Chain A
Amino acid sequence: MEEQYPTEYGPKWSDQRVERMLGALVLTVVGLLLALIVTVFVRAWPSFSHNGLAWFGAGGNVDDQLNAIFLSGQNGLEYVYTFHAWPLIWSTLLITGGAVLISLFSALFVAVFIVEFAPDWMSNVLQPVIRFLASVPSVIYGLIGVVVLVPFIGNHLVTEPQKASVAGIISLTGYSLVAAVLVLTVMIAPLMVSIFSDGLRAVKPGWLEGSLALGINRWRTTWKIGVRSARPAIIAGTVLAVARAIGEAVMLAMISGSVGFAPNPADGLIFIYEPSRPLAPTIVKNIDQLSSPPANATLFAIAAVLLFSAATFSLTGYMARRAMRKYGAA
């Protein structure tokens, strides 16, 4: 027996030892996440404690505030922390919400199509296409948005009267909510499609057959039985896509317009052409201000908000998928 096993599987690689080593590694990973959470919130604390709940409120020009915060740390003056992030939060809500709504609708149809209705050649084309769209780097989406979509919107969709009507406040150049929403939709829809179609494939065939045997056509069977039983997958996919959308920084830094401005839907349809800047791109744009202590705290405060919301969403997705597993799916 002994010579059959190389010495590497002797006492040196006994099960207890391996288990302890792997366990130590796992604990390191868990510890790293805890360290990350603690660090981000500790660094963010000065900004939150100086502003209180007003941090999330509106008031003043966000870009001026960020500038004042940065300069106060540079010039050895008393640190300024006043920061009201509402325009950034509002922009995040609008862009994420818009993109998630559009992609929820389209991803559901595409997933149903791939799983149930597409002819073989079509689903053999669509699946690699979806995988490809999911793997294109965000900076490439950003580049294409900047050189194709943004000029198109600026030159052809926004009319001169519209540009004139907001001339003193903001300039409509095509860097806009609608550009950001459209590109973000293309980025997150593939993620949703793949999770939705996993869920749809896991629906018990017997349930669908039962419905088909009653003479219900395939379309209605799919939507009433298939899609309904795959609801946990749909929740999981949506929630994960929201988490991804909230954290998207680089693409949005390129095409959202990078102005701390809150587009107001009450102004009519023109608001979709207005520029703004969500939370995550704000960090990217101001990253060279990290050396100024108050700016550092402010950026970490933004990161803390992102971390909290993205982690909440992805853990909700995790719970939804656990539920899915309990019903035999996924």
Chain B
Amino acid sequence: MEPVRTPAPPEKPRAVAPSTAPQPPTPSPGGHTGAVEGTATWALSDRIGLAICWALGLLFCAIAVAIVVYLLVQGIKFLRPEMLWTPAAAGFSESETGGFSDALFGTLIVAVMGISLALPAGVAVAVWLVEYGRPAPLARITEMTIEAIAGIPSIVLALFGTVIFSSTALGFLSRTSEGVVFGRSFFAASAMLSLVALPLIVASVREGLNSIPRHVREASYAVGKTKAATTRRILLPTCRPQVATGAMLGLGRIIGDTAIIVVLLGATQNFAPVEGVGFPFNYLRGAGTTLTNFVYEASPTGNLNQPQKAYAAAFVLLLMVLALNAAVDVVHRRARKVGTWSH
């Protein structure tokens, strides 16, 4: 490659990557501190390239701001507090059709059930992969399985769910009438949604476990702790931030998923509890709805076609996503402040 032909301008060196010794208190992600090289000596094509970078960066910011502002404006315009505790009803105009309380509760139920299935399973798989991982071929297969699950479209997971949950053996998880298993319930949807969250949790916890140096484990073994005790008492508490991050990323995916809800929770806008079953199982075995499903049905292309309610519900959903994002940020920042094992 030809060097640049200008008679060596006094380029200031690029201050480099985070690995070099003394760090400023808050290292910037790019790692450049202090002065950077000016662009005055660059060829025109290089400067155009940099301009494209700026333009695209600003475009992404503009898109994000536009989404938030648009939904904020529409949300404030159309969201009435009573929508949050009024269930959906049949009616001819948007003023008669109630709110979306069932959808809101549905989202919460699905989130809690999904994550309480996915979190223990994800942590366990990650622990096995990092701490045990024998026999090696099984570890490879497991890694590939997790990757494959991450890549499976959620609509395919949903179809698979219709097969397993309509089997008679699992009839106790949904509505059954005359021997035919309905197969659509909060249990079914949450179980499949936990598979959506699983790979994110596994990846995050693995990253955390991998960042703990060997000597920490060896110190624990040296005082006579078993591997299981080390994991439980030392390793998992240390990578609590990563567990939390994985859980919140997984939660975000669970509350944002629509395909599985549409297929496995039933095409209804209200809770449909199963009769003759005690609380809370009557609700959990019945069909229901979530905010994503409500937005999908209430959008102009959906069956309800109530755009105002769709805005309101989408606004609530977006607030949840924003809150989760903020929580991830807080965890990251706190983890960085506390420090890791790398020093």
Residues of A participating in the B interface, judged by any CB pair closer than 8 Å: 1, 5, 9, 13-15, 18-19, 22-23, 25-27, 29-30, 32-33, 35-36, 39-40, 43, 106, 109-110, 112-118, 120, 122-133, 135-140, 142-144, 146-148, 186, 189-190, 201, 205, 208-209, 212, 214-220, 223-224, 240, 243, 246-250, 253-255, 258, 280, 283-284, 287-288, 290, 299-300, 303, 306-307, 310-311, 313-315, 317-318
Contacts and interface: CB of A to CB of B under 8 A. Distances in A.
A205 B32 CA distance: 12
Contacts of A186: 63
A217 B42 contact: yes
B258 A138 contact: yes
A144 B195 CA distance: 28
A135 B142 contact: no
B256 interface: yes
Determine the main DSSP class of B at the interface with A. helix
B153 A36 contact: no
Given A19-B132, A33-B148, A310-B152, A123 B29 contact: yes
Contacts of B50: 117, 219
A217 B145 contact: no
A280 B13 contact: no
Contact of B144 (A135, A136, A201, A318): A318
Contacts, number: 290
Interface string B86-100: 000000000000000
Nearest to A186: B63
Contacts of B329: 128
Contact of B151 (A9, A122, A129, A240): A240
B125 A146 contact: no
Interface of B: 1, 3-4, 8, 11, 13-14, 16-17, 19-20, 28-32, 36-37, 39, 41-42, 46, 49-50, 52-54, 56-57, 59-61, 63-64, 67, 70-71, 121, 124-125, 127-129, 132, 134, 138, 141-157, 159-160, 162-164, 195, 198, 224-229, 231, 249, 252, 255-259, 262-263, 267, 292, 295-296, 299-301, 307, 310-311, 314, 317-318, 321-322, 324-325, 328-329
Given A30-B141, A122-B57, A314-B151, A13 B226 contact: yes
A130 B63 CA distance: 10
A315 B256 contact: no
A40 B159 contact: yes
Contacts of B54: 113
Nearest to B5: A215
A14 B156 CA distance: 39
A315 to B, nearest CB: 6
Contacts of A118: 30, 53, 57
A227 B299 CA distance: 42
B328 A29 contact: no
B328 A26 contact: no
A136 B318 contact: yes
Contacts of B127: 22
